[in-house]
Amino acid sequence: MRSRCCPRSVVAEPSLRIETPLDVRLKETGFSPGHPLGLFAKAHKESGGIASFVGQVRGGQAHALELSHYEPITLPAMRDLAEKTAERFALDGLLAWHRVGVMTPGQAIVLVAAAAPHRRAAFEATDSMMDHLKSAAWFWKRERRDDGWHWIEPRGQDHADLARWKTD
Partner 1 sequence: MAVTIVYLGPLADLAGEAPTSLPAPLDWNTLIDAVGEPLAAQLENDRVHVVCAGKVLADKRQLFAQDGDEVALLPPVSGG
**Piece in contact with partner 1 (CB under 8 A), picked from 4-12, 32-40, 118-126, 133-141:** 133-141
Choice from 19, 30, 154, 163 touching partner 1 (CB under 8 A): 154
Site string for partner 1, 91-120 (x = CB under 8 A): -------x----------xx----------
The distance of closest approach from Cβ of residue 11 to partner 1 in the complex, given in angstroms and rounded to an integer, is 29
Instruction: Pick between residue 80 and residue 120 the one whose CB is nearest to partner 1.
Output: 80
Closest CA to 109 of 101, 117, 99, 119: 99
The distance of closest approach from Cβ of residue 73 to partner 1 in the complex, given in angstroms and rounded to an integer, is 6
Assess 49 for contact with partner 1 (CB under 8 A): no
Instruction: Pick between residue 51 and residue 110 the one whose CB is nearest to partner 1.
Output: 110
Q: For residues 20-39, which are near partner 1 according to CB under 8 A?
A: none
The distance of closest approach from Cβ of residue 58 to partner 1 in the complex, given in angstroms and rounded to an integer, is 13
Choice from 7, 60, 72, 106 touching partner 1 (CB under 8 A): 72
Q: CB count, 10 Å around CB of 12?
A: 7
Q: What is the 3-state secondary structure (H, E, C) of the chain?
A: CCCCCCCHHHCCCCCCCCCCCEEEEEECCCCCCHHHHHHHHHHCCCCCEEEEEEEECCCCCCCEEEEEECHHHHHHHHHHHHHHHHHHCCCCEEEEEEECEEECCCCEEEEEEEEECCHHHHHHHHHHHHHHHHHHCCEEEEEEECCEEEEECCCHHHHHHHHCCCCC
Instruction: Pick between residue 18 and residue 137 the one whose CB is nearest to partner 1.
Output: 137
CA distance 65 to 72: 22
Enumerate binding residues for partner 1 (CB under 8 A): 55, 67-68, 70, 72-73, 98, 109-110, 133-142, 151-154, 158
